[in-house]
Amino acid sequence: MQSTVGCSVNSCKYNDKGRHCTLQDITIGSGQDSGEARTKKETECESFVSEI
Ligand code: SF4
């Protein structure tokens, strides 16, 4: 079953290089100790694993 999580991070080992994540569950964090992201850029995928 193809994941419904769209992702364009091609350098992640879980990315199918077709703009989807292959994991069934991912965790997103705020990137801030306070947990209070204010912009999209302050959110980040904590499930990311570099394949580079
Ligand atoms: S784990 Fe995160 S960064 Fe990696 S492909 Fe999935 S959504 Fe993208």
**pLDDT tens digits, one per residue of 6-47:** 999 999 999 999 999 999 999 999 977 888 999 999 999 999
| Distance of CA 34 from the midpoint of ligand 1 (Å) | 23
Query: What pLDDT, on the 0 to 100 scale, is given for residue 1?
Result: 63
Query: How far apart are the C-alpha atoms of 36 and 24, rounded to whole Å?
Result: 25
Query: How far apart are the C-alpha atoms of 5 and 7, rounded to whole Å?
Result: 6
Number of domains in the chain: 1
Query: How far apart are the C-alpha atoms of 24 and 40, rounded to whole Å?
Result: 22
Between the CA of residue 6 and those of 10, 21, 32, 49, 52, what are the distances in Å?
Answer: 11, 6, 23, 16, 20
Give the domain extent around 5.
1-52
Query: What pLDDT, on the 0 to 100 scale, is given for residue 6?
Result: 95
**Mutate which of 10, 13, 19, 23 for ligand 1 pocket (most atoms within 8 A of beta carbon):** 23
| Distance of CA 18 from the midpoint of ligand 1 (Å) | 12
